[in-house]
Chain A
């Protein structure tokens, strides 16, 4: 079990900023998301598209959604602040931003072009021997093909009927073979020449990198706003909890301080799912169901809750607050007499 963190003393850690957006509590900074999870064991749930693979639901991205209870807990026990981003500051002067972004993109185009060219050069150098060999082979093939066509043309122009003496014919053939050899020599010379021209080839390849212009610039679509300074500050008391939510908050606080991770329990018919470690690595062990201390539950309720919990191999925790505001936990287990 993880040890209880003394969060009240963690004031030296960087401040977490959470945002109230139309009634939802969101976290927009990836650093804050990591900090909340790794240090403060607040999980929440991501709700944006995953940037690199947008059209799927198994892995989501920023923003992180927090429940009201989690948000209240963060504001009370974590070095944090909450801003209200429900109203966009429409009076902010946006005239300069357009030009600024345009300039930045132009600058980025220039840099990216150079970086791409550099990368291209590195790739070409790595593959230099292959490229040279390939080019040489190609050239040789081309030359051979040309020679064959030349021989064919010689043979057709000097048919056997015109030279009755076979010796003469043989000599001529030998001559043609010599000429082929000489052509081969010339082709190798040419190949060597192409090797010399490799630098020229590299130049032409680099030029290809920038052939489509500024539209090829890679840009970043930002998640976080630049107008943080315009959003009003909210306090913990601005999050209003109902009576039921108050019980949930106390239960959350108590279980969290015992070292557990808690997530939303809606999919298992409870208020929280209680994990012994990070939910990414461990299965949850309890389903926390919060009820007022004085409320009478019917037998069918007990039966339904108990059946649900056992069927998913978890333990049901019935959580209530007693008169002294202490959290009382009780559980149900099936017992059969043989």
Chain B
């Protein structure tokens, strides 16, 4: 039997290949060789140069040699695959690996993606093979391609990666620092889309879903509470089975052409809605529908160092804005007073008209003065659109905010990572990550030590979660924290 095997294809291959294959099989994971070697006993305090020491040293070097020359051998079936997309600063997941589900996120371009530090860590651990233009990257290539020189870029600095890897290796779940709300939204999308991606709809499933939709239409029509004017609805059969939150590139282009200077909505916020009437397609509102979007709602990047400004924005969404016409509105008339003075209905109507004329004249006069440019009030009425605008105009924001202070210098001392506890300590869900266990700031010897002002800022950003400062010197990571303590007061009894 053995002879039969020997005579088969093995002889066709080079000795080098056979040797390589044998080494792969010897070094594969899951064998007994995976155990970490012992440290070689207690360390010695003094160098004496005895033969015993030399023997121990030789044995130590041999074990170290084995460790450093160990190969990273993995089974192809367990490996995931990701393609590096330099223009997006993420790696696109092409094939999900066996152990990498906890890392990826849903990218707005419509695929699962890995941040550079995640991709690099998975490559280092040996759970994915990273490709660039289809070619497999080595660890060294990935360091060149995925990492950046400095902090704050879309890529990850080498120090940040070292901190990320240090924490991830011991089981912490590490994510890029972001506000909790946005994170959960992002992951919500991803979970929904996972279902779609994993179970591609076959024709039968299509019909099933159509049946469900018919039921929903019946329910909708039987309710009869609100009827859409169907004439204003544009049907787009191209969008068959598309998820309602996805916006196509054409839609975005369409939106960009609309001249609507006062509307600050980003193109991403345009949504197609599920079509409850026609079961064949989704619907997209016409261009004119943009007019229905409130003018004063502003969109802004959720940049965390501006957390106070964000809060102001949030409050602004509830602020009623007043326009120029509001002052002469009939609401401002004291109807009760007129009612008491009026003898009959005709008299009352006449009095109201007179009051309206007086009011409008009065307001016209006021407006003329205000808009003439001769008067220079502290705050012009056109500036009073929202609280942020008022604060900006009055320079109040400048005076009260410590966050804007010297941001360029203190940029390196911003929080980089949210760290969640290991699975054993606390169950973690990507959809509801909750408050992190701690947050991490990354620093190194070339950066000045964070000042007290920096630490205060970081404390504000952290929102009550403990912050650790990770100090990376060459490759070792040290963590330290500034904690405020209260000195205890001793009370002498008796």
- B476–A57 CB distance below 8 A: no
Of all chain A residues, which has the CB nearest B44? A282
Q: How far is the CB of A234 from chain B (nearest CB, A)?
A: 14
Q: Max chain B CB contacts within 10 Å: which of A44, A56, A115?
A: A115
Q: Which of A26, A51, A278 sits near B126, CB closer than 8 Å?
A: A51
In the complex, whether A65 has a CB less than 8 A from a CB of chain B is yes
- A220–B73 CB distance below 8 A: yes
In the complex, whether A325 has a CB less than 8 A from a CB of chain B is no
Q: Which of A2, A48, A277 sits near B44, CB closer than 8 Å?
A: A277
With contacts A220-B73, A281-B53 taken as known, whether A94 is within 8 angstroms of B135 at the C-beta atoms is yes
In the complex, whether B437 has a CB less than 8 A from a CB of chain A is no
Contacts of A267 in B (CB 8 A): 476, 478
Q: Mark contacts of B56-92 with chain A using CB atoms, 8 A cut-off: 1 yes-contact digit, 0 otherwise.
A: 1100110011011111111111010000001000000
Q: Max chain B CB contacts within 10 Å: which of A67, A214, A217, A220?
A: A220
Contacts of B17 in A (CB 8 A): 107-108, 111
- A57–B139 CB distance below 8 A: no
In the complex, whether A250 has a CB less than 8 A from a CB of chain B is no
A153 to B61, alpha carbons, bound, how many Å?
Answer: 74
With contacts A88-B145, A277-B47, A283-B44 taken as known, whether A67 is within 8 angstroms of B25 at the C-beta atoms is no
In the complex, whether B40 has a CB less than 8 A from a CB of chain A is yes
- A85–B170 CB distance below 8 A: no
- B158–A30 CB distance below 8 A: no
In the complex, whether A178 has a CB less than 8 A from a CB of chain B is no
- A264–B476 CB distance below 8 A: yes
Q: Which of A31, A115, A282 sits near B43, CB closer than 8 Å?
A: A282
Count B interface residues, CB 8 Å. Answer: 84
Q: How far is the CB of A50 from chain B (nearest CB, A)?
A: 7
Among B5-13, B182-190, B323-331, the stretch that binds chain A is: B5-13
A58 to B37, alpha carbons, bound, how many Å?
Answer: 11
Q: Which of B60, B70, B148, B475 sits near A65, CB closer than 8 Å?
A: B475
Size range of the interface on A? 35 or more
In the complex, whether B24 has a CB less than 8 A from a CB of chain A is yes
Q: Which of A1, A55, A88 sits near B170, CB closer than 8 Å?
A: A55
Of all chain A residues, which has the CB nearest B473? A266
Q: Which of B1, B27, B76, B141 sits near A105, CB closer than 8 Å?
A: B76
- B165–A49 CB distance below 8 A: yes
- B25–A21 CB distance below 8 A: no
Beta-carbon contacts under 8 Å, A172-231 to B: 199, 202-203, 206, 212, 214-227
With contacts A22-B157, A223-B72, A281-B44 taken as known, whether A53 is within 8 angstroms of B139 at the C-beta atoms is no
Among A32-40, A289-297, A300-308, A327-335, the stretch that binds chain B is: A32-40
- B69–A30 CB distance below 8 A: yes
Contacts of B355 in A (CB 8 A): none
Beta-carbon contacts under 8 Å, B449-494 to A: 471, 473-476, 478
Q: Which of A214, A220, A266 sits near B24, CB closer than 8 Å?
A: A220
Q: Which of A30, A49, A203, A281 sits near B68, CB closer than 8 Å?
A: A30
With contacts A52-B34, A225-B138 taken as known, whether A59 is within 8 angstroms of B67 at the C-beta atoms is yes
Q: How far is the CB of B142 from chain A (nearest CB, A)?
A: 9
Q: How far is the CB of B83 from chain A (nearest CB, A)?
A: 11
- A110–B135 CB distance below 8 A: no
With contacts A49-B126, A65-B474 taken as known, whether A59 is within 8 angstroms of B36 at the C-beta atoms is yes
Of all chain B residues, which has the CB nearest A98? B134
Contacts of A24 in B (CB 8 A): 158, 474-475
In the complex, whether B125 has a CB less than 8 A from a CB of chain A is yes
Contacts of B144 in A (CB 8 A): 21, 85-88, 225
With contacts A65-B475, A217-B75 taken as known, whether A19 is within 8 angstroms of B140 at the C-beta atoms is yes
Contacts of B56 in A (CB 8 A): 281
Contacts of B143 in A (CB 8 A): 21-22, 26, 63, 85
Q: Mark contacts of B21-54 with chain A using CB atoms, 8 A cut-off: 1 yes-contact digit, 0 otherwise.
A: 1101101110001111001100111110100010
- A110–B473 CB distance below 8 A: no
Binding site for B on A (CB under 8 A): 1-2, 19, 21-24, 26, 28, 30-31, 33-34, 37-38, 44-59, 61-63, 65-67, 85-88, 90, 94-95, 97-98, 101, 105, 107-108, 110-112, 114-119, 121, 199, 202-203, 206, 212, 214-227, 264, 266-267, 276-278, 280-283, 285
| The 6 A-B residue pairs with the shortest CB-CB distance in the complex, in nearest-first order | A65-B475, A47-B475, A276-B47, A97-B135, A94-B135, A51-B72
27 A-B pairs with CB atoms under 8 Å apart are A22-B143, A28-B139, A30-B65, A45-B474, A46-B475, A48-B124, A49-B124, A52-B27, A56-B170, A58-B36, A61-B68, A67-B474, A97-B135, A108-B20, A111-B21, A112-B21, A114-B9, A117-B5, A118-B2, A218-B75, A219-B129, A221-B73, A224-B139, A224-B140, A267-B478, A280-B60, A285-B46
